[in-house]
Structure 1
Amino acid sequence: MVDIMDYRLMPFSTELAANIEILNTIYNGSVDIKSRTFPIAGKTEAFLLFIDGMVNETLIDLHILAPLLQTRTEASELDFAYIRSVVSTSQLSIATSFNELLQYISTGSAALLINHLPFGIAINLSGWKQRGIEEPAAESIIRGPREGFTETMSVNTSMLRRKIKDAALKLNSIQVGRYTKTEVVIAHIDGIANHSLVEEVRHRIEGIDIDGVLESGYIEALIEDHPYSPFPQVQVTERPDVVSASLLEGKIGIMVDGTPFCLIAPTTFMSMLQSPEDYYQRFMISTFIRWLRFLFLFISLLLPSLYVAVLTFHQEMVPTSLLLSIAKSREEIPFPALIEALLMEVSFEALREAGVRLPKQVGSAVSIVGALVIGQAATSAGLVSSPMVMVVAITGIASFLLPQYSAGIAIRVLRFPIMFLAGMFGLLGLMLGVIAIIIHLCSIRSLGVPYLQPLAPMKWSEMLDTLMRAPIWKNRKRPSFTGRKNEIRQSPYNRPEQEEGEASP
């Protein structure tokens, strides 16, 4: 018995019946496969096959069947050049093996086989249903473009081309997955991106050997440098403007067919704390908001641990009046501060996750009302104190200030081991946890780029766009971590200045 994989590797026969038999064997039992046999010039037989729902059948009737059924040429003249001149569509390709033809069919092409021709003709008339362009729900902003990527690769690449209207934008396609054969596109700007960086990304993706890729998370997990780190080493975004800005900095974009989430590499920890809106509003406002993010990053990571450490080991650090107030609220609480904090944090995380998984109409109501009701009930029942509810609420709000969802999850996960260290060793345990995190951040890399750059190693020239957001006209150079190729990004004379003698408004 011949295996289907053996059929895929077979060359075409000059006998149409043999080719039809092989295709019928490969697609045996598939209800979505549509086919038709019809004559050309009243003599030569032809065979058309396509997948229902992936091809526009109206275009098949109009551009393939109608012209071919009306042709009156001799059989000896039926070749690819003649078919191209008759079929009124430009996207025709020759497939010299069944495996190549099957790839065309699975991506929305119709297969045309003609008797006596030892090859197949793939005609691209894809017409499946697709989601329209919408605003990204996870990366909403007040000022800036409202469009986001979709699940269709051609739509995503066109949105990128609309942002960067230059031939230097290169989009290279790679197929990944033995069965899914998912299209993965590597985007970079030739002349800006470091060539060795592009080749490294290509090498890592081409080295993936897996049954299927269903989302960009598969690619992210298989190309990152440190898979056991809780911190994301690849930035994820739905926004074409974020990808375009990253490409202009010399980074690499990785788009995966079937998902709106695009990957950006290399990335740094500081990139995770930046929002695209930082560059669309006044630099003073953006700088203030960045400082606010840094502050609430530490609050999200350390506030419950600090509360547990102080109440358990360092009561002398609390002012007397505040300590008496906290002691009064905790006099009937049966649990130590660590158990109390864990109880509330786990409950809050469960409510947040439930709000995400529930239908949109009830998710927000359940998460908000649930938090209020459970918090009030736990306080009234004497299970947790009012200060602890307040600490957990502030911590939860702080975690929402991080622009990158994946970075926020890492901070939420690390909050628990630090809480345990604070409950066992006090402020010493808290500081040990912070030092361990800093050492880990200094040791990991993203495609070979230090994760804490420009803080470690220190790059003073790049601090203007890290701890603060300098005016756009001050950012003359691209980040150094993508290489020193074409590092000047704008003229030094872009600063707006009032000309001498010009009247002030």
Structure 2
Amino acid sequence: MGLLKKLLKRKQKPSSGSSGSMQNTSVQNAPLQADLQENINQIQEALGYCPDIMVRKILINKRQTRAAIVFTDGLIDATAVENSILKPLMLDFPDNSSEEPPPSAAQDLMEFIRESVLTVGELQELTDLKGALDAVLSGNVVILADGYAQGFSVDMAGWEQRSVEEATTETAIRGPKEGFVEDIRINTALLRRKIKSPALRWETRIIGRVTKTNVAVMYIKGIVNEKILEEVFHRLDRIDIDGIMDSGYIEELIQDETFTPFPTVINSERPDVVAAALLEGRIAILVDGTPFVLMVPALFIQFFQAAEDYYHRSDVTSLIRLVRYLTFFITLLGPSFYIAITTFHQEMLPTPLLISLAAQREGVPFPAFIEAFIMEVAFEILFEAGIRLPRAVGQAVSIVGTLVLGTAAVDAGLVSAAMVIVVSLTAISSFLVPHFELNIATRMTRFVYMALAATFGLFGIIVGLLALVLHMCSLRSFGVPYMTPLAPFIPSEQKDTFIRVPRWRMYTRPILQAGQNKVRQQPPQKAEPKPPDKQ
């Protein structure tokens, strides 16, 4: 009993690590002091005296005022710091011999520096240690002066980053070639270039207790649905996590809480796609550190729409989009129909084809389901291997592996040649869907339909399709039905669903997504014939 009481007391006693963490938090929340050296010591102690935290002590010209700038090495533009901060403070600071009088004793020095000395664009005032630490770790330069319990944070970010290049995941023959990068400021600028309107707004959130990742929510005032916008902010504000590494973290945390393989948030790497979504009333969520921008609400028909659809003529686009829908059903049901017909419904096949298939399967030891399952799993393995392997050898290995594996499996009598054709056609069809997230959901669901076809034949496939339709009609994306405008059926929005009508007939924006401004353009007016001139 005595040992048990000691263990309970030890458990109730806070550990040294937790007390140190609480002490560190209280130190970070402390206000800045008027003593310069004390502020520097607190910053260095809070950051663990890391060697990349640079402190440059200076004297402000003949006033002999001690000051210091604090920054993180590698996150700032050194040339800009020298020209816009150090040179104005140390060399160009007004003195008694200059035409402009220096600040008087009654005038605050820090106010004078902000208004008349520093030649920078963005400058924020600091009053506590936490703000100074966040500024230093975000790539800003912190300016402190002796005798003043405040400082300045100057945006001087200049780390190495990837330049704007063509989007690698959404290639297009015609259209803009630029894609987003990992810097959120560059991404917002790319969208500003597309939409030069004062109605384009964006608000920021800092998410992640440790990473403190910048997240921007962009929308067009007057076009966006205010209820959906409020729901987006509500879901972002309730996120409490230690770190955000990619927009996929945000996607998983804000999506509708429904168990489904189908994505309810869509992402894109192309600024033109995101700009077009904003013009339709959707909301874009940009995350610092990733080139993939989230767009909500996301509908099922969006995953069949590509950026190139709106750069070609409507007749060409409509044909391509119908092909995409056809390949979606081939990807989902191709192996299942083969299994069901060859296992339960042989009477549906013409006699010559039935004899040919029977001859091919004469030496195959497995039923059609096991045969298709083996080939589908082999394809998934080759697909993942092609992605993970180095780019120089990934495509070669996947192509050679597919050919060798298919030929060897047929020659060994493990699978039939017809099954190889069905699986190959299914694999090729899966890549016609423009968005990879829907492709993954289709590949996952395909195995369920294969099992239903092997158990119940075509009856199982029909029951599975009914269950799938009911499930997809029950989904919501930020309150908007997932199958809009098919369920609920909205006749006025069928202009850009299975086909795309000419642009001059697309008058309005989506009804359930846009706000009050639903008119995209005015309908063309018919020209009245003029009477012939009288001679």
CA distance in 1, matches of 2:385, 2:503: 41
Decide which of 503, 515, 524 is 1:472's aligned counterpart: 503
Decide which of 246, 253, 260 is 1:222's aligned counterpart: 253
1:83 maps to 2:109? no
Pair 207,427 (structure 1): closer, same or farther in 2 beyond 3 Å: same
2:280/2:514 contact within 8 Å kept: no
Consecutive unaligned residues of structure 2, counting only runs of 5 or more, are: 1-19, 96-101
User: Please, which moves more after superposition, 281-290 or 359-368?
Assistant: 359-368
Pair 185,501 (structure 1): closer, same or farther in 2 beyond 3 Å: farther
**Matched letter for residue 210 of structure 2:** Y
Could you say which residue in structure 2 is the equivalent of 1:11? 31
Alpha-carbon shift at residue 467 of structure 1 (Å): 1.4
1:148/1:239 contact within 8 Å kept: yes
1:239 maps to 2:270? yes
Q: Deviations over 1:38-89 (max 9, x none)?
A: 2223522112110111101122222212222223457945522221221222
Alpha-carbon shift at residue 483 of structure 1 (Å): 4.2
Consecutive unaligned residues of structure 1, counting only runs of 5 or more, are: none
CA distance in 1, matches of 2:205, 2:529: 53
2:224/2:515 contact within 8 Å kept: no
Instruction: Map residues 460-499 of structure 1 onto 2, 5 A cutoff.
Output: 460-483=491-514, 485-493=516-524
Decide which of 166, 169, 192 is 1:135's aligned counterpart: 166
Instruction: Map residues 89-168 of structure 1 onto 2, 5 A cutoff.
Output: 89-168=120-199
CA distance in 1, matches of 2:24, 2:191: 39
CA distance in 2, matches of 1:44, 1:175: 35
CA distance in 1, matches of 2:147, 2:212: 30
CA distance in 1, matches of 2:195, 2:530: 36
1:221/1:227 contact within 8 Å kept: no
1:473/1:494 contact within 8 Å kept: no
**Matched letter for residue 485 of structure 1:** Q
CA distance in 1, matches of 2:529, 2:241: 62
Q: Deviations over 1:245-299 (max 9, x none)?
A: 1111111111111000001100110111111111110101111111111111100
Alpha-carbon shift at residue 126 of structure 1 (Å): 1.0
Q: Report SS of the residue matched to 2:34.
A: coil
Instruction: Map residues 101-500 of structure 1 onto 2, 5 A cutoff.
Output: 101-483=132-514, 485-493=516-524
Larger radius of gyration: 2
**Matched letter for residue 223 of structure 2:** I
CA distance in 1, matches of 2:315, 2:88: 64
Alpha-carbon shift at residue 473 of structure 1 (Å): 0.5
| Alignment coverage as a number of residue pairs | 501
State the Cα RMSD in Å: 1.7
CA distance in 1, matches of 2:202, 2:457: 53
Could you say which residue in structure 2 is the equivalent of 1:63? 84
Q: Report SS of the residue matched to 1:46.
A: strand
User: Please, which moves more after superposition, 98-107 or 287-296?
Assistant: 98-107
2:247/2:294 contact within 8 Å kept: yes
CA distance in 1, matches of 2:530, 2:487: 43
Could you say which residue in structure 2 is the equivalent of 1:30? 50
1:41/1:75 contact within 8 Å kept: no
Q: Report SS of the residue matched to 1:465.
A: coil
Could you say which residue in structure 1 is the equivalent of 2:60? 40
1:44/1:75 contact within 8 Å kept: no
CA distance in 1, matches of 2:475, 2:130: 41
Could you say which residue in structure 1 is the equivalent of 2:75? 54
Alpha-carbon shift at residue 335 of structure 1 (Å): 0.8
**Matched letter for residue 487 of structure 1:** K
Pair 491,185 (structure 1): closer, same or farther in 2 beyond 3 Å: same
1:226/1:445 contact within 8 Å kept: no
CA distance in 1, matches of 2:90, 2:222: 50
1:226/1:444 contact within 8 Å kept: no
Alpha-carbon shift at residue 228 of structure 1 (Å): 2.0
Q: Report SS of the residue matched to 2:512.
A: helix
CA distance in 2, matches of 1:416, 1:20: 62
Q: Report SS of the residue matched to 1:480.
A: coil
CA distance in 2, matches of 1:257, 1:485: 31
Pair 402,165 (structure 1): closer, same or farther in 2 beyond 3 Å: same
Q: Deviations over 1:206-229 (max 9, x none)?
A: 111100111000111011113421
1:41/1:74 contact within 8 Å kept: no
Alpha-carbon shift at residue 484 of structure 1 (Å): 5.1
Q: Report SS of the residue matched to 2:338.
A: helix
Alpha-carbon shift at residue 328 of structure 1 (Å): 0.5
Q: Report SS of the residue matched to 1:34.
A: strand
Q: Deviations over 1:114-154 (max 9, x none)?
A: 00111121111111111011111110011111111100011
**Matched letter for residue 60 of structure 1:** V
Q: Report SS of the residue matched to 1:263.
A: strand
Alpha-carbon shift at residue 458 of structure 1 (Å): 0.6
2:43/2:133 contact within 8 Å kept: no
Could you say which residue in structure 1 is the equivalent of 2:13? none
**Matched letter for residue 347 of structure 2:** E
CA distance in 2, matches of 1:50, 1:320: 80
Q: TM-score, normalised by structure 1?
A: 0.96
2:281/2:515 contact within 8 Å kept: no
Q: TM-score, normalised by structure 2?
A: 0.91
Could you say which residue in structure 1 is the equivalent of 2:16? none
CA distance in 1, matches of 2:531, 2:173: 38
Pair 371,86 (structure 1): closer, same or farther in 2 beyond 3 Å: same
2:258/2:475 contact within 8 Å kept: no
Percent of aligned positions that are identical: 45
Q: Report SS of the residue matched to 2:216.
A: strand
Q: Report SS of the residue matched to 2:149.
A: coil
CA distance in 1, matches of 2:257, 2:230: 19
CA distance in 1, matches of 2:517, 2:70: 50
> Deviation above 6 Å: which 4+ runs of structure 1?
497-502
Alpha-carbon shift at residue 103 of structure 1 (Å): 1.9
Q: Report SS of the residue matched to 1:323.
A: helix
User: Please, which moves more after superposition, 134-143 or 31-40?
Assistant: 31-40
